[in-house]
Structures are given as C-alpha cells and as structure tokens.
Structure 1
Amino acid sequence: MKINKIYLNSVLILLILGCKPNSSNQDSESPSGFILQESELPDYEKDLNHQGLLTGLGDRHDESIRTGEHIYNNICFNCHGNPDQEGSMPNAFKFWEGEFKVGKDPYSIYQTLTRGYGSMPPQVNLTPTEKYDIINYLRETFIKEKNPGQFVEIDSTYLASLPFGTTTGPAPKEFKPWAEMDYGNFLINTYELVGRNAPPRERSTGTAPLPDENLINQNFAYKGIAVRLDQGEGGVSAGKAWMMFDHDLMRVAGAWTGEGFIDWEAILFNGKHNISPRTVGDLHFENPVAPAWANPETGKFDDPRFQARDGRKFGPLPREWAQYKGLYQFNDRVIISYTVGQAKILETFGLETLEGRPIFTRTLNFSASDRPLKMRIAPKGTAVALVGEGAVLKEEGGFLVMETTPSQNSKVKILIGKSGLKGLQQYTKTSSPPETLDQLIKGGPARFPQRLTSEVQEGTQEGPFQVDIMNPPFDSPWKNQFRLSGLDFFKDTNKGVICSTDGDVWLVEGFTKNSGKLTWRRIASGLFQPLGIKVVNEEIFVTCRDQLVKLHDFNGDKETDFYEAFNSDHQVTDHFHEFAMGLQVDTEGNFYYAKSARHAREALVPQHGTLIKVSRDGQKTEIVATGFRAANGVCLNPDGTFIVTDQEGHWNPMNRVNWVKRGGFYGNMFGYNPPPDSTESGMEQPLVWVDRERDQSPSELLWVDSKKWGALNGKLLNLSYGYGKVFVVPFEKIGNQVQGGIFELPVPRFSTGVMRGRFNPGDGQLYLCGLSAWGSTQPQLGGLYRIRKVDQPMVIPVGIKATTQGIELNFTDELDAKSVADTAHYTVKTWDLLRSRKYGSKHYNEQTLTVTKAKLGKDKKSIRLHIPEIKPTWGMEIQYRVKDDRGKNVAGSVQNTIHQLGEGWER
C-alpha cells in the first residue's frame, strides 16, 4: 500500500475553499454533524462511481484487505486500537462493539471518513480507493463477526441505491511529506542508532501504566544532531552519509551510510505513537550512551547524571564537566561549540574516501586547558588515525582514546573508518591538515535566500469578528509542511517570527501594512520540534524539545548563523509524548515553558509533566509546578501566576484549564514522585473541567490586550487545538480557588488546531497559528489567521459568579429585560466525573436544574439565574436564549465548573 500523493492537493483545495464550516455559539460543525460540507470537497468526490468502487473490491479482495490493514495500523490504530489493545484515545469509536452514529453501511462510513464527524477528522489524505479498502478491512475484520448488528450486506439492491458517477478518483501514489522535506543539512531529534540487522523494537502493551521496556542497551541519542556529510541538494533527508552528535554527552553516537536516512517512525513524521526513528543503512561505528570526554577533575568516564527507574540516565553532563554551547552553520557545514572543563572546543565533521570506502572525519579546535583531556573516539577495533598536533591516540578501557596536550591551543583531525579498513595510517600522509574553524563561525552566505509570498484572504463574515486566512506558501521549494507552532512580533509590528514543529523559523512581513500579501523568509531550520517562540529585546528565542535556543545573525542577512544553546538542561527521553510547549517571559526576564509527561506510562525523570522556569541568563532551571499530563503551553498572568492547560487522559477525566500556583500538583499520578493521596483533595483543582464535546484538546491561553476589542479587553481567551476554536474564559476567585467556564467565540472553526496566539500592538488584532499533527480533528497541516474585531455588538458572557442562590452571568452588551425574565429561555445541566487511572470519564449523575427566576441586573448587562438546587459540580452547562437591547435574538452556552459557592444576592 502507498500513502496517496493527492494529500497536499486535497489540503490546497481545502485552503482555496477556506474550510469554513457553519459557525454558531453552540456548534461550528455543519448542520448534518459533518465537519466538511459537500461544497468543501474535491470535485472528484461529487462524481464518484461508488457502485464501481464497491463492486471492484470483489476482484481485489485480498489486496484490498492488506491495504486496509496497512492503513488502519499506520493511521487509525493509534487512536482506535483493536479488541486486544486499547488505543491512545479510548473514547475513539470501537468498530468491534460500537454503534455507528452516521450510518453503518459502506457508503455512510465513507461519508464519515471523507467529511469527518464529531471528534473524527476528515481523512483528506486518503483516496476513494483507499477509503473503501479500509472500510472493507473494518467490515471483514471487526464488524462482520464481532459486531454483526452493524454489518450491512452488499447486494444488488444496495448497490443500485448508490451514486453512479464517472470516476473512481485519483489513483493512490506514494507520498511521504516528512521524508521529502528539505530540513537543511542537520536535523535534531531523538534517534536510535542501529545496524542493518537490528532486532525488532520492544514495545510494551497492556493497561496503563504500561511497563517500561528494557532499553538499557539501546543506543539512543536523545539530543541527537544528525549531520549530512555527502554533497548534494535536499538536505539531511536526501543524504547518503551522516554522523550523529549527542549534545547531552558531547559524544559522536555513530556514523552510517546508505540510501535512506532514518525509518521516519515517529509521531511528528509518519504519525506513529510510542516510537522513535531508527537509522537505516550501514552503521560504520557507534559509541555507547556514556560521556565521551572524561571528567576533567578525575580523568574518569563514570556517568554522574540522573538515573531513572529503568536504569537509564538522562539529561546533560554537569556544566563544570562539559557544556553544549550551540551550533554554527556555514553553507552546508555544521560546527559544534562546547566546553570541556576550561577548554573551549569547536568541532566539525566531514567525509573522505580511501579506495572507495568512506572515512568519517572529526576536526577539533580546542583552547588550552590546565590539564590533559581525554575523549573516547570509538570502540577498540575501529580504524582510527589522527592528523595534526596537540593530541595522541591511546587505548583505554576497550576504547581508542584521544588525549590532548595541556597548555596549548591545538587543531586535530580524527579519521574514522569501519573495522577492518586497511591503510588508514598511510592515508594520513595525504589527507588535508585540520582546518582553523574560527573562520567558519562569523556568518556565511544565505542558505535560503528565496523570499516566498502568500495571499491574505480577508474575511467578510457577519457579526463582531472577521477572520482573515493568512496561509503560508505551501508550494515552498523545500517542501515544508508548515505545521505552525508559535509566533511573536518585533517592535516593527509589520514583522514577526513564526516557528513550525518541523524545525523551521520564518521571518514574516506584511502583518500591518495590509498589502494583501505576506512575505516569508526561512531563517532557521533543523530544530527539534519547536513549539514556542518569543522575541525579547529584538532577539529570538525558541522552545525546542532539547533546549531553549537563541538565534543569532552575524552578517545581517537575517538567517541564523549561530543556534545558541541558551539553556539545555532539558531531560529528554525517547518517549514520543514529552513535548516542550510554549514560551513566555516575565517582567524580570525569566522564561517559562511546559513539558508534557509520558503517555500511559509513569514518569522517568523529574521534568516529566511540569511547568519549568529558566533564569534570564539561561544558567538555572527550576520546576515551578508538577502533575501535568499533556500541558500545551503557558499563559503568564498579570499577577505573576500562570495558566497551563491539560488534556483528557489517564488521571484526567476531562480536559483541564489550570490556574497554576507555584509548587502545586495538578493531578497526574503517573507523573514523577506524585503525592500519596490520589483523591481530588491531593491535587489542585482546575479553573474548569472542559468537556470533550466543547473542546477535545485545549492549547494555550492568552489575555486580550487591545482597546479595539472593546469589552473583551483585559479578558481571558482559550485556544482549541482539538477543534480549531477560540473561547472566552469568564472566571471568579473565591478564597484561593479560581473557577469559571468557557464560551465559544462566534467565529468560524479554523482549518487547523489552534496552538498559539499573540495580539499585535500595531493593529490591535489577534493573530493565531496552528497545526494538525496529533489528536486534532482539523484536517489542514498548518495555518495562520487573524481575528479582527469590527464595530458590531458582541453580546458575549465575560463574567460568571456561582452563589448559594444561583448563577450570575455578565455580558459585554445590554440585554432586553423581558426576554431575560422568561425562565423558559434557560436550560441548566450538571454532571459529575470520575477521576481514575483509566483514560477519561463519562458523565455521572446528570441532572437538569430548575431556574425559578431570572432577572436583568441594573447595568442591563448581567443576568441572575435563581437555581435553588445549585451546588458545587464538576461540570455545568448553561444554555440561554434571550434578546439584546435592540431586540435581536441571542443564543449561547457556557460550560463551567463550580468548586465553591459564594454568598447569595441580597433579596
């Protein structure tokens, strides 16, 4: 089976069509419940021969089943699982026991796959043939015998009822965008180095928490900088020879050659969960997961780092031992900067040949030190030789070791060949001498000189908000996926920077001049899953999974010449789920980001599931709060506290919006060293439990900072990665507890999950960027948007109070007293949740509460609902249908949580 090549075309069609499902305050899906309307589908979908597609399954039954199984295992299994193993989203539909909501016949299932429904995103990456292959597999494997009530026979009568078009759609063609992208000549990630005959991966299964695999002997470069060594276009993914530098341990983890770079098995590559990419091809040599340089104080290689429960060690070496300083780039050359003791080291890599066989080279320039330094080059038996002066080669402890001469600056080139390579010592006489690397760290010519443009599609929606679509240039020469994950602006507010989780940073111009176009320039690449960006004093900082990076341009061409490791205290493991999310800076210059925990597994390191502070100089890392599961970003509050969202899952019965206290624990008992009390009293309570029907996956919050947004200025917004929405967050504080709810802004549902937002001080409007890479229902890979507030009434609830007598809602605009007073205009429901080690929770103890009286406040903007049965509750939904002061109907819904009841109103 081949993943289809019309994926990008389908996405572009969605972009052209705008992908704007109907919107309302209640539900932004189309009236039928589908995410995409028929008008938003590719043209071929409107002329498909469904009869022919289904009839043709009989002629290719075995091939169809194999193809469907492949698609299911690679795309669907992660979320849906199978009868023996629950998927990563246990609430996803179970074909072997569930009841279809849209329809159980093949054509109805096809519509669900094509248009999406509820939490199920439209599968724009599949051709019609592939969709019917997966339907065939589901019917024959799961439904026919295990769920026969949902099995519909395909007979002549049924076939005659189906559309009979003239096409069967595009033929499936191989398309792997993650492998075709030009990442530049280096790419930082977590990699497993293996040879050609590597054993199958060990992946544990069962109920959560999943047991740890025995990975103690696997060669993981948790902070691996993969560098392409051979010449040619296309970057690291198109190479044929590579070397891996691990900046936790200052070691070369290994070097390999072949027709492929890696197997691309990872959540942000081919979508696979619980897996890290492996090298493919011929592994010429490798070094174990241990310090490459001996401790300058002791001369020993003993690893002092944090040891996890499974025996592995994580995090960087102590700074006084060795410290990664960053990465320079000059043309396609990569120069690593680090220290060992007092010595400053620059290192670059190269490739030479001896009688057609590759020789990997390491060129090191090191400053004087007060003592000899030792570095393991490779295991004994590897072909190794030195060129230059200032170091000698020895054997020690089963390794070939380089020992430097103290008290002098030196240049050395190390030649490394595969075990058994002959003639290497003789070759040193003709190999070029080691370079002086200082000349390569001052800035070089632009690697990405092209300036790309994209059109701005201005919104003309009715109502108080208009949405402009500012999509990136998807036809870039580097085949970027543009899964946008963070943005910020410069003092010149027409300019901004945007990062993507694929490793890029872009300089974008045209935000406030409104020329109808944006100009995009790629200024950095190869970073490890950037998921936050911040401009501080005109300098760019990026949150990556392995480090907080500061970008430097030395020669004024805007491109990054030095990727400074501003802080690399990150404890990185091989687990797919531990994203480093968001980036904020307080008034003192300290940085904050959130680090997710492992999915369905207990934490291995203290940083799993935490809010992290980095000092303004980058020299100190501090854990601020713990107990998060999947913390997607950080909001810095005016009072110096924080808001961190979290996702439904194990120990999280629903999504959480947390008003975070320093030292607080936020509920994930799979986190590192959780408190002994696993009940609700042992954790901090969220501001609101967000029901999955409202948002499948909340992302970052931000405060409205714009007078143009009128009554919303100073209010709190919550962004939705899961459903591509934006919510207002009305809240109150009773004692030390903040509580409140969410209300969906009346804007169209975005085509991507929304990740980050910033108000531009130049035009006072909200800019949003987003992506779809894991767990979002939205089909588009990435997108950029602007929400403009226009001069129309909003009538939006921005305040909420829960009292012993009922609920008070405060609105942005005046309301009609007569319509407010009619208690038939309100429906109030409540429910409980069950928090446990299981994934999520259904509703328990659902109730409908009676509103006995409704009254408009003196300000004409507040409604007091008298509810005699009110009491604290996990979840509440308040639906209303009233009129504003102009007589216009206003309908909406607030979903909230009540922890405590305040004092009642005066009678």
Structure 2
Amino acid sequence: MKKIDLSLHTLLVALFLFGCNPNSKNQETESPVGFTLKESDLPEYEKNIDHKGLLTSLGDRQDESIRTGEHIYNNICFNCHGNPDQEGSMPNAFKFWKDEFKVGKDPYSIYQTLTRGYGSMPPQVNLTPVEKYDIINYLRETFIKEKNPGQFIEIDSTYLASLPIGTTTGPAPKEFKPWAEMDYGNFLINTYELVGLNAQPRERSSGPAPLPDENLVKANFAYKGIAVRLDQGTGGVASGKAWMMFDHDLMRVAGAWTGEEFIDWEAILFNGKHNISPRTVGDLHFSNPVGPAWANPATGKFDDPRFQARDKRKFGPLPREWAHYKGLYQNKDRVIISYTVGTAKILETFGLETVENLPVFTRTLNISSSDKPLKMRVAPSGTSVALVGEGAVLKDQGGFIVMEVAPSKPIKIKLLIGKSGIKGLTQYAKTSSPPEALDLLIKGGPARYPQKLTSEVQSGTQEGPFQVDIMNPPFDSPWKNQFRLSGLDFFKDTNKGVICSTDGDVWLVEGFTKNSGKLTWQRIASGLFQPLGIKVINEQIFVTCRDQLVKLHDFNGDKETDFYEAFNSDHMVTDHFHEFAMGLQVDKEGNFYYAKSARHAREALVPQHGTLIKVSKDGQKTEIVATGFRAANGVCINPDGTFIVTDQEGHWNPMNRINWVKKGGFYGNMFGFNPPADSTEAGMEQPLVWVDRERDQSPSELLWVDSKKWGALNGKLLNLSYGYGKVFVVPFEKIGNQVQGGIFELPVPRFSTGVMRGRFNPGDGQLYLCGLSAWGSTQPQLGGLYRIRKVEKPMVIPVGIQATKNGMKLTFTDKLDAATIQNTSQFTVKTWDLLRSRKYGSKHLNEQTLAVTKVELEKDGKTLKLTIPNIKPTWGMEIQYRMKDERGNPVEGLIQNTIHQLGESPTW
C-alpha cells in the first residue's frame, strides 16, 4: 500500500491547487441539497469517474482497501469524529456508528459528501476517488454494517447499474505535505520536544474531559524553542540537516541534532494533529534538561524559581533581573540571539564545524562586562566540549560542564560541543577560527526575500448594498507559503498595509487604495510562532505571537526585518496545542491587549490559560484583565474602554459566546485556572449573545464600523465568522449592567476561507478582511484577503434591538412599508434554552414558538414593535421576518439573539 500522508490542512490547500475558483458565483449559493461545492467547482475528472468499477474492484482488494481507509481515517478524520470508544475533539461531529446520514447512506452519496462538502463537513478535495472509496469501505465495514445497520446499503447489481457511467478512476494518490515543503527561513519558533533516536512513544491521555495530565516532568520541551538551521543550503529550516535549539524562556541551548528530517510535524498547524507537539527527528548529539542555563548572578545557584503547575512542570520566563530575552537579529542565514544575564549583555550565534568528519556544534558568545561572576551550564557531563577564546573557563560541576566567567571587561568566546567520545576536540580548538565580533552582524544585512510578488484583485459585482473584492495572496510563492492570513493593519499611507500569517510570516502589501487591479506582496519577516494579530503604531509593526509580542525593526531601509525585538515575552507557554495568543489591539493610552486560549478538554496549568491580557505601553508589565475563556479568538476595544472577546462552543460552553468583558470578570470556563467555586450561571458573567452553531460555528474578532461610507452602519458593531466565513452586524442594548443583543448576517456571499480579522482602511473607508481555514472552520480555502465595499443601495439591516415586557423592538437602517408589517404571520419567533455543563456543547432544550399578536411601525418608519405576550428571558431566540421596505422591495431576514432581562415598555 502506498504511504498516504494527509491532513485537513492538506485538503484545504488542495482546493486552490485543483483550480476551484473561490471567487465564482458558485460560492454565493449552495446546491439544492446543501453541498458546499457545486459540480462546476470540481476537477474535470470528477465528471467521468467509473464509480461502478471502483466499487466492484473493492472485492479484489478488500483487505488493502480497508487498511488504506483506516489510515486515512486515523490521519484526517479521527481527530474530529473519534470512534465508539473515544470521542473526537469535536463531539458534535458525525458519528458513523449511530447517526443518520443527511444526504444519503449509499456509497455514491457518501462519495458526494466527501467530494463536495456538506454543512460543517469541508470538501475532501485532496482525496483521490480511489482513496474516497477506500475510506467509505472502511466506514461501512468497520462502523456502519454492524453498529449502525439501518444506514447500511447492500451493493448489488441493481445498485451498481444506477451509478453514473464513467471511464476513469482519477489520479493516483500523491504524498503531499505543504507544511514540510514551505521555506520558513533559517529559523522557526515553536514548541518542540527534543528526543533522540529510538525515542519512546508519546504519552497521550484519553477519556472523558477533563483529560488527565500526562507525566511529562522529564520530557525535554523547549516551550519557546528557536530552531536554527546550521548547515548550508536552500529551503530554510525545514530542508536542513543540522540544527540547534535555543529556549528563550531559560536562555538555554536545549539541544542540537542532525538528520534527514527536521521534525515529525505532529501539530495542529502543521499536519493537523490535535493534542500533540512536534518532536525532533534524527540523532540528538547533546541536550540540556528543562531549567535555567545561567546561574542566578545574585546567588550563583541554578534553582528554578518559576511558576510550578499542577503537573510539577515549570513555565514562563525567568525573572528579568536574572535573565531576559531581548530578541533575535538576522543577517543573511545567520541568527544572533540577544539577551541579558544580570547586568551583562550577551549576543550569541550558532554554527557547525567538523572534526574528522563528525559534526561539532559551535556557540559564539559576546559578553559585556558584568558586576558579578557568571556561570552557564553548557552540556551534561561526558559531552565533548572545548573553548576557544579568553576570559572564561570550563569546569565539571553537579553533573554538567559549566562555563565560568569572572567579572571583567567584555569577552568573546566560542564553545565547541560534540557527541561524547569525539576525539581531538581540544586539539582542534587550537586551530579553530577565533570567536567573531557579533556587533558587526546586527546592523542589517542583504534582503533574504528580494522578490516582490503580485496578485490580481477581482472586483465584486454582487447585487445589493455590498460588493466584495477578492484580493487573494500569491499562492504560487517561490517559498511555498500557505498564506493562512491571521491579521492586518494599515500605515499612514493607507495604500500600504501589513499582513501576518499563522505560518510565521509578515507581508508588506501595497495597492489597497490606488485600485490598480493588483497587489504587491513583500515578505518582510518569517519564522515567528503562530502570529494571530498585528498592529501598526506610529509606523512601527507589532505582532502577537504565541511566545511573545514582537516589534519588527528594519535597519537598512529594505523593509525586511533585521531585528525581531521581544517587546514583551511574559507569555506562559505550555506544550498544549490549543493555547493560541489571539488578536492585538491598543487603547488610547498605548497599552496592548490580546487574548490567550485555554487548553482543550483539559484543566488549565498556568494562570494565563483562558484570559484577556494587557501589556503596558512600554512592554515591561503584563496583567490579566479577565478570565474564564475557552478559545478566545481576538479582542475588540469598545468606545467606553471595555472589551469584547468571543469564545467557542465546547466544554462548559453550551454554545458560542460574544462577551462584553469587564475587568476582573469570569466568563464561564470551569476548566480555566482557579475558577470560582460556583459553577452555575450565577458564578459567571453572561455573554452579550449565545451564538447558535447554525448561525456560526466559530465566531472570531469583532470591530466597530468606522466609516461614513457605510452610512447607517457607521458606529455599529460587526462580528466576523471564522467557522462559516460570514460577517454579522451585532445589534445590542444595555439593561442595568448587562449587555444583551443578537447577530444578523450581512447580505454578502460566504467567504471561501474562515474570516479572522478586519480593519477599516481610513483611506477608502472600506472594510478589509483576512482569514484562514484550519481546525474548526468549514470553509475550503486555506487563506484569503477580501474587501467589502458599501455601495449606494438600501440595506434594510437591523441595527437596534430591545427586549421588553411586551415584546421586541427592532430598528432598521432603512424605512419599511407600513402596510406589509401588519400581517403577524410574516413574523416567526422561536426560543430555546441551553444546558451549560462540563460536557461539550448543548442541544436546544425547551424549544418553543411564541405567538406574535401585533406588529406596529413607529413614527421613524424604521422601528418595529412586535407584541409577544409570552416573552421572557431566554438563552436563545430567533426572529424571522418577511415584509417590504418603503420602496416595495421584499425584505426577509433572521435575527438570533439572547435575552437576559426584559426592559420596561411604557409606550406599549
């Protein structure tokens, strides 16, 4: 059987590669049965598939087919769907062993669902027809036939005769790993586990949530690992053969390794695997355990004072007065780390030499004068180590080879480190080149990515009040970038902006407002740790990464980043895949804000899990503003100085939440760090609205409309949809201290990627959006960039909502026809409750349809009063309406909202 290496991310990338046009009108409507893709979006060969032949051939290759299908299922399906013994990470995902198929239960119908996508199921466009029938065969024989027989259809001659006639079986399976093929640059920051040859399998807990903690005390994780390629060659860190890992929490070299592969790519944003971090692959020549590399200058001891979690591991950076990471310089392929130990300033770079054809790893350190003696653990005792230069000595102490530096004038030294047993290293040190003066390498070097790329802007011509321009990135990049876009902002010259991607890149993009029909893309930074927010302040670029808030510096005017300043690195990073650092906003005083997600299906380990975080204007202080979030996707700062943070359905979240956040508030996730004793609704702050999964599977960031061109929507609140690629307006009210309201989908086509971040461009007054699709998004394209333009057409969009003891008030942007609103049958109001518990999500409970007995139009011609005698507070409400505007045009819509309190209605 040919090896297959697939993931959801692979499949999403392939949609673009297969030539599906995400800008076509086919994306604006779905097929009658709800498929995501239309037939015209599919590769040409799909129209001529020999389905009968493929199904018939299964009898001759049954064992191989089931093995292949099992391999595919375990690689791309199990994470979400699970199996009868272990629930997947998306408990609402289809369960083949007990659920009923919605489209059809015969093999050809299941094939159509896999091929074209349906509902929350994205199209599996990277699976070949043979592979799709292999996985269908596996599902039928393993889960459906015995456990769910009502959904099993026999394949007989009559059924085979009913299938479409074709002559091809499609392309042969192809191994495709875009995450491993990308050129990330010569370094890549991530969380890594360092292991050697013949490493033991990972320990991974299972069972009902919360999952128990594994025993990882002895595992060598570099939670803020800077992996640096040392050998020469193209393709960046992923194409190397020798690497060194620097951990900037502890200022330690965690280890060095060689091999034919960089890492195993086991991670949510690499091959799509959940609950796992990537491991090094190859021969680990030496490693240092998790702990401070430098002794505390004040005490001379290596005792680790950092926060100790429940599982006995320690997390976060060392105290600043002990050691502090300042950032990373890059000059060509050279990486120079800047940090302090006590009063000493240190520059360090890494290299590779050979002794008798064996690799020797080098560390060159330039150390300024210090007011106290310094000690650094180089490697465990027994490792071959030699020293080049003067001003330091090596000693064997406490199981380590320790370098000691006396208080003195600045020194330059080079450490040579090789495997235990290398002979001649001391003699080689006498002839090795002297340590470099690293200050010569930190002033900026030649451009690493000199090519400027271009992409076409496809102008929208949609009917209605909005037109959407597609501004897709240059997917044919020479560096094979995936372009999973995760943040954008603009400069004072509003024709220019910066865009970050979760794969580690930052791009300078030009062409936003001059409307030449093209955009120019320049890669100005790379290798960052999952950027998910970006902000331009006084023309300086700040990026939210999982390990730090980074400030980018260009020293020589070529726009590329020469210094990645660690503006703030107080982040407490663990190995858990789910703790993304989301969004970046700045208040009027210049303080920064981002949200940090909690662990998925696990209890928090560190205080920062599931929090809204503030970083002071100077980057020197971090504080937690609010707690209790599960998967907080971004931050919105409100005009009154409060915040909005979204959250996702899951454990302790019966449905998605949009939270109007108060300082010190707790927002419901009892798996968060140090939750309150009261697990009822009374123990948490209530959301503005519980967003039903039918409306949006995964809300992302909100923003306020700041554009006169958007007419009656100016000053209103928008919510972006990562899950379904939509944009919503959020009408709301405040009763007492509680904000409540709902969402209404803007009349624009669903975007072909999940929408993450948006900014209004002050130059043209229009909304720019960027997005990505990975875990938890149904949209098929991996990344995208869009512009929504408001045009001079009526909107008739609800922008105001009030819940009263008599019913609901809805205020629209445009005037309505008084005659058509008289018919109460044109209005349908449904309500439901939810159950909040440690279980994942909730079904609708106590569903009801409430009678609307009267509808009136107020004098402004825009405000409806719906009299609803049985109205009461409810977790979820859905208001559907059909009427006409004052021009006689039909108006249909749906508002989904939450009511916590009923206000007074003295005029009713």
Above 0.5 in TM-score?
A: yes
- Which letter does structure 2 place at the counterpart of 1:195? G
- Which letter does structure 2 place at the counterpart of 1:659? W
- Which letter does structure 2 place at the counterpart of 1:290? G
1:11, CA displacement in angstroms? 1.6
1:518, CA displacement in angstroms? 0.4
Q: Indicate if the aligned counterparts of 1:697 and 1:721 stay in contact, CA closer than 8 A.
A: yes
* Alignment partners' CA distance in 1, 2:859 and 2:287: 75
2:21 corresponds to which of 1, 10, 16: 16
* Alignment partners' CA distance in 1, 2:84 and 2:90: 14
* Alignment partners' CA distance in 2, 1:362 and 1:88: 42
Alignment of 1:487-502 (within 5 A): 487-502=488-503
* Alignment partners' CA distance in 1, 2:433 and 2:476: 41
1:68, CA displacement in angstroms? 1.0
* Alignment partners' CA distance in 2, 1:878 and 1:31: 24
1:21, CA displacement in angstroms? 4.7
- Which letter does structure 2 place at the counterpart of 1:476? S
- Which letter does structure 1 place at the counterpart of 2:4? K
Aligned residue in 2 for 1:132? 133
Q: Indicate if the aligned counterparts of 1:7 and 1:126 stay in contact, CA closer than 8 A.
A: no
- Which letter does structure 2 place at the counterpart of 1:76? C
Aligned residue in 2 for 1:620? 621
Q: Indicate if the aligned counterparts of 2:120 and 2:778 stay in contact, CA closer than 8 A.
A: yes
1:15, CA displacement in angstroms? 5.1
- Which letter does structure 2 place at the counterpart of 1:628? F
Q: Indicate if the aligned counterparts of 1:20 and 1:751 stay in contact, CA closer than 8 A.
A: no
Aligned residue in 1 for 2:445? 444
Q: Secondary structure at the match of 2:542?
A: strand
1:2 corresponds to which of 1, 4, 7: 4
- Which letter does structure 1 place at the counterpart of 2:45? Y
* Alignment partners' CA distance in 2, 1:7 and 1:824: 43
Q: Percent identity between the aligned chains?
A: 85
Per-residue Cα deviation, 1:797-816 (whole angstroms, up to 9, x for no partner): 01100000000000000000
Q: Indicate if the aligned counterparts of 1:20 and 1:750 stay in contact, CA closer than 8 A.
A: no
Q: Does 2:540 correspond to 1:539? A: yes
Q: Indicate if the aligned counterparts of 1:592 and 1:611 stay in contact, CA closer than 8 A.
A: yes
Aligned residue in 2 for 1:168? 169
Alignment of 1:589-604 (within 5 A): 589-604=590-605
Aligned residue in 1 for 2:672? 671
Aligned residue in 1 for 2:509? 508
* Alignment partners' CA distance in 2, 1:619 and 1:8: 40
Q: Structure 2 vs 1, CA of residues 7 and 51 (structure 1 numbering), >3 Å: closer, same or farther?
A: farther
Q: Structure 2 vs 1, CA of residues 303 and 19 (structure 1 numbering), >3 Å: closer, same or farther?
A: farther
TM-score normalised by structure 1 residue count: 0.99
- Which letter does structure 1 place at the counterpart of 2:501? S
Q: Secondary structure at the match of 2:819?
A: helix
* Alignment partners' CA distance in 1, 2:869 and 2:671: 39
Aligned residue in 2 for 1:792? 793
Aligned residue in 2 for 1:844? 845
Aligned residue in 1 for 2:396? 395
732-741 or 44-53, larger mean C-alpha shift: 44-53
897-906 or 295-304, larger mean C-alpha shift: 897-906
1:166, CA displacement in angstroms? 2.3
1:190, CA displacement in angstroms? 0.2
Which consecutive unaligned segments of at least 5 residues does structure 2 have?
Answer: none
- Which letter does structure 2 place at the counterpart of 1:38? E
Aligned residue in 1 for 2:413? 412
Per-residue Cα deviation, 1:831-851 (whole angstroms, up to 9, x for no partner): 000000000000000000000
Q: Indicate if the aligned counterparts of 1:610 and 1:627 stay in contact, CA closer than 8 A.
A: yes
* Alignment partners' CA distance in 2, 1:149 and 1:83: 17
Aligned residue in 2 for 1:219? 220
Aligned residue in 1 for 2:288? 287
Aligned residue in 1 for 2:663? 662
Taking only aligned residues, the RMSD between alpha carbons, in angstroms, comes to 1.0
Q: Structure 2 vs 1, CA of residues 872 and 8 (structure 1 numbering), >3 Å: closer, same or farther?
A: closer
Per-residue Cα deviation, 1:241-289 (whole angstroms, up to 9, x for no partner): 0000000000000000000000000000000000000000000000000
Q: Indicate if the aligned counterparts of 1:708 and 1:765 stay in contact, CA closer than 8 A.
A: yes
- Which letter does structure 2 place at the counterpart of 1:853? K
1:905, CA displacement in angstroms? 4.0
Q: Structure 2 vs 1, CA of residues 665 and 386 (structure 1 numbering), >3 Å: closer, same or farther?
A: same
* Alignment partners' CA distance in 2, 1:658 and 1:376: 47
* Alignment partners' CA distance in 1, 2:26 and 2:206: 38
Aligned residue in 2 for 1:707? 708
Alignment of 1:333-372 (within 5 A): 333-372=334-373
1:524, CA displacement in angstroms? 0.2
1:71, CA displacement in angstroms? 1.1
Q: Indicate if the aligned counterparts of 1:728 and 1:743 stay in contact, CA closer than 8 A.
A: yes
* Alignment partners' CA distance in 1, 2:11 and 2:603: 40
Q: Secondary structure at the match of 2:820?
A: helix
* Alignment partners' CA distance in 2, 1:861 and 1:114: 45
Alignment of 1:12-91 (within 5 A): 12-13=17-18, 16-18=21-23, 20-21=25-26, 23=28, 29-91=30-92
* Alignment partners' CA distance in 2, 1:86 and 1:10: 28
Q: Indicate if the aligned counterparts of 2:21 and 2:41 stay in contact, CA closer than 8 A.
A: no
1:13, CA displacement in angstroms? 4.5
* Alignment partners' CA distance in 1, 2:385 and 2:94: 56
- Which letter does structure 2 place at the counterpart of 1:432? S
Alignment of 1:215-254 (within 5 A): 215-254=216-255
TM-score normalised by structure 2 residue count: 0.99
Aligned residue in 2 for 1:734? 735
* Alignment partners' CA distance in 2, 1:731 and 1:492: 34
Q: Secondary structure at the match of 1:701?
A: strand
Alignment length (residue pairs): 903
Per-residue Cα deviation, 1:517-538 (whole angstroms, up to 9, x for no partner): 0000000000000000000000
222-231 or 129-138, larger mean C-alpha shift: 129-138
* Alignment partners' CA distance in 2, 1:19 and 1:432: 60
1:60, CA displacement in angstroms? 2.0
* Alignment partners' CA distance in 1, 2:452 and 2:20: 21
* Alignment partners' CA distance in 1, 2:656 and 2:497: 31
- Which letter does structure 1 place at the counterpart of 2:682? S
Q: Does 2:884 correspond to 1:879? A: no
Q: Indicate if the aligned counterparts of 2:81 and 2:95 stay in contact, CA closer than 8 A.
A: yes
Aligned residue in 2 for 1:899? 900
Aligned residue in 2 for 1:179? 180
* Alignment partners' CA distance in 2, 1:338 and 1:616: 21
Q: Structure 2 vs 1, CA of residues 800 and 14 (structure 1 numbering), >3 Å: closer, same or farther?
A: farther
* Alignment partners' CA distance in 1, 2:437 and 2:742: 61
Aligned residue in 2 for 1:122? 123
* Alignment partners' CA distance in 1, 2:300 and 2:392: 16
Q: Does 2:327 correspond to 1:322? A: no
- Which letter does structure 1 place at the counterpart of 2:305? P
Q: Structure 2 vs 1, CA of residues 17 and 775 (structure 1 numbering), >3 Å: closer, same or farther?
A: closer
Q: Indicate if the aligned counterparts of 1:3 and 1:174 stay in contact, CA closer than 8 A.
A: yes
